[in-house]
Chains A and B, each alone.
Chain A
Amino acid sequence: MRKRVMRMMGRAGALALLGMILAGPTNRLWALGEKSQEGFLRMRTVIFYDTQFSGRKFKVGDDMTVTGKFQLLPIWPKEIAFSGISWLNFFVPGPQFLREGTWINNRFMSCSELLELGGTYEYKTIAKARYPGHWPVGIMLSMKDAGPLIGPSIYVDVEGSHEGFTNPIKTLLGNTVNLENYGQSRMLMWTLVTTLIGVAWLGFWVGRPFTSRLGVVAAGRAKELISGADKTVAVVFALGTIGLIVVANVMTASQFPHTIPIQETIIRNAPLPPEPSRVEAKVLDATYDVPSRTLAFRVEVHNTGDRPLVLKEFTTANVRFLNEQVPGNTWNPDFPEVYGGAMKITPSEPVAPGETKVLEVVLASAEWENQRLTMYHETTNRFGGLLFFSDPTGARSIIAVADQLVIPRFGVTQM
């Protein structure tokens, strides 16, 4: 008895839980899933930088602007196909924002674009808040055959109500339509009409005894089950249905004489012209110390400019490490990326014009583990990212680290 009561209570609880999940509000999302991608994929394909979101609090109807740059690293992992056919996505859990437009290198992205390996691109996306809630939003480059390559993201709060929200656009025929419900009543009416034909046909037959027909058919008397009148009704149904479709199409053709097919093409988009670089840099070796969660690498730097240079930042997989010994180079909580921590650079003095020296860069951070960037678990133990050098005027030189092997140090002797 007790078991039965417990079982019943368990079932009731499960049902209540299911009901709460189904009926619960859908205006909050707690996770994005970007860390589910492998570390090498995030570190060695596309690096986003200079990303800025225009705010974190909006009202329904407000515009949000996202700007930034990304580089397709010059040595693409062999394990991931590079097709170049790309679509700069704005990710959000459903259309809680409307993408009004995305521009890559000042060119409107109306369709997928062919981007170049090693190229740097500048983008802008404008999105309009549509539904109230607490939403994760971000930038993502989807590439054909390679899949989604995720950029920085933030959580935004949208206040207000969706009620009364409209999305008008003007067609080339001169009329303005509201995309929130355009064509909906026509679609519903036609669905209803055609469904009623089916329901009427079904009703005509299921109004008769059903299972007993099995015996009549088995007894070889199937012909008795369909009469001449049934056949007449069937002919009327068939001709009526086909006639209705013909008439509806004639009416549709007169209502919409100018239509175009779905537009599909690919546009080539050339990368930004290369910025003048004042530095040559090459990573010599790299290790990852597992117990202290530290990536360390040596980089040979040659200053080809006429001003001293410092290494200000290393960015990879939306994690930024800053050289905080440089005045003003500190973390700003408004940055959409993850703060990896401080970079330790030895020697810390700037690289003088014409000088060549080897810098040892130490990046000790729990984020290697938090962001699942510890590559010794993966089949390809290489890292990539962007090194940002700067001279006293603030002019940047960006060097891509695209394919550097990492040796893990486990810190214990294993038997």
Chain B
Amino acid sequence: MQYSQVDAEAKAVARKFDVVVLLSTFLALIAGFHVHQMLVAGDWSFWVDWKDRNWWPIVAPIMEITFPAAVQAVLWTRFRMPIGATLCCLGLLFGEWMNRYINFNGWTHYPLNFVFPETFIPAAVVLDIVLMLTGNWIVTALVGGELWGWLFYPTNWVMIAPFHLPVEYQGSLMSVADVINYMYVRTSTPEYLRIVETGTMRSFAGGVTGVAAFFSAFVSVCMYVPWWLMGAHFFGSTKFFKTYESASTEVKHA
């Protein structure tokens, strides 16, 4: 057998192994990140009438910079791959769409325009690029975390703007999103349970979205740090493995 043939086979096997590793990681991230997201910010993602300009841009980015930071830490420090945040957010979006399409729409007949998920992918790509260009996780936390918070609402406003058109319904002023919530019965979530803006930020002259995005960006910076550290020093750690030299003779012979 020629050396080049062996080399080609080795490369092919390595590539297959790459696919297995990447696919497994992707599937694990879909499960883990999606469950996390549903538990900490689920309703804002599930329902169009929760996608307000105050709480949604605060809660969603803060709670969802977590996994991207940790996965970035592993993939950057161990593989020099600037794809951690993008991989996470693509996985999250895939999981969300499976859930919304099969469960919410297929089984219970909620229209997709009521239950579509938000997207973090543009912010995730930017977060990955900031890490790649700076090569420094603290700068990434400061700059990337800020951009993460600031980009969230404008990214999603493109999709939700039509649902904020005003409607006079039965003599009441409602947004299209409010009417959808009213008509497409959601028995387990009465109206008062919605955590949406209630006019408590009027001292900012109605500039709710900017204040929310600023606060969200600031806390996203803060959230990035512990999750990066957790990723780098726990998930990405190899200290739990013994080196070949420290293995017993029996193991070496085996």
Instruction: List A residues at the B interface (Cβ < 8 Å).
Output: 26, 85-87, 89-101, 108, 110-112, 127, 130-131, 140, 142, 144, 148, 162, 167, 169-173, 177, 179-184, 186-187, 190-191, 194-195, 197-199, 201-202, 205-206, 209-214, 216-217, 222, 225-226, 230-231, 234-235, 237-238, 241-242, 244-246, 248-249, 252, 255-256, 258-266
Residue in contact with A263 in the complex, picked from B22, B89, B154, B173, CB distance below 8 Å: B173
CA distance A214 to B22 in the complex (A): 13
Instruction: List B residues at the A interface (Cβ < 8 Å).
Output: 11, 14-15, 17-18, 21-22, 49-53, 77-83, 86-87, 89-90, 93, 106-113, 116, 119, 121-122, 124-126, 128-130, 132-133, 151, 154-155, 157-159, 161-180, 182-188, 190-194, 196-199, 208
Contacts of A148 in B (CB 8 A): 188, 190
Q: Which residue of A lies closest to B197 (CB)?
A: A261
Q: Which residue of B lies closest to A198 (CB)?
A: B121
Q: Which residue of A lies closest to B131 (CB)?
A: A234
Q: Which residue of B lies closest to A221 (CB)?
A: B80
Q: Given the interface contacts A99-B185, A245-B151, does A238 sit within 8 Å of B108 by beta carbon?
A: no
Contacts of A180 in B (CB 8 A): 111
A179 engages B183 (CB within 8 Å) = yes
Residue in contact with A93 in the complex, picked from B108, B162, B166, CB distance below 8 Å: B108
Contacts of A213 in B (CB 8 A): 79-81
B49 to chain A, nearest CB (A): 6
B110 engages A225 (CB within 8 Å) = no
Contacts of B208 in A (CB 8 A): 261
B162 engages A183 (CB within 8 Å) = yes
Contacts of B112 in A (CB 8 A): 181, 184, 187
- Determine which residue in A85, A131, A183, A242 has the highest number of CB atoms from chain B within 10 A of its CB, and name it: A183
Number of A-B contacts (CB under 8 A): 273
B125 engages A182 (CB within 8 Å) = no
Residue in contact with A95 in the complex, picked from B15, B116, B167, B185, CB distance below 8 Å: B185
Q: Which residue of B lies closest to A182 (CB)?
A: B113
Starting from the known contacts A93-B187, A108-B170, A111-B172, 5 additional A-B residue pairs (CB-CB under 8 Å) come to A98-B184, A110-B170, A171-B176, A238-B133, A262-B196
B101 to chain A, nearest CB (A): 11
Residue in contact with A202 in the complex, picked from B17, B90, B133, B171, CB distance below 8 Å: B90
Contacts of B110 in A (CB 8 A): 94-95
Residue in contact with A172 in the complex, picked from B18, B167, B194, CB distance below 8 Å: B167
A210 engages B109 (CB within 8 Å) = no
- Top 7 closest pairs, chain A to chain B, by CB: A94-B108, A110-B172, A87-B190, A142-B190, A259-B164, A198-B121, A95-B184
A267 to chain B, nearest CB (A): 9
Q: Given the interface contacts A245-B151, A263-B174, does A205 sit within 8 Å of B107 by beta carbon?
A: no
A252 to chain B, nearest CB (A): 5
A307 to chain B, nearest CB (A): 41
Contact sample, A vs B, 15 pairs, CB 8 Å cutoff? A93-B187, A130-B109, A172-B168, A179-B113, A179-B180, A187-B113, A198-B122, A201-B128, A202-B83, A205-B82, A216-B80, A231-B133, A238-B133, A245-B151, A261-B175
B155 engages A194 (CB within 8 Å) = yes
Q: Which residue of A lies closest to B56 (CB)?
A: A262
Q: Given the interface contacts A173-B165, A210-B21, A214-B79, does A197 sit within 8 Å of B170 by beta carbon?
A: no
Q: Given the interface contacts A171-B176, A194-B155, A197-B125, does A131 sit within 8 Å of B164 by beta carbon?
A: no
CA distance A179 to B163 in the complex (A): 10
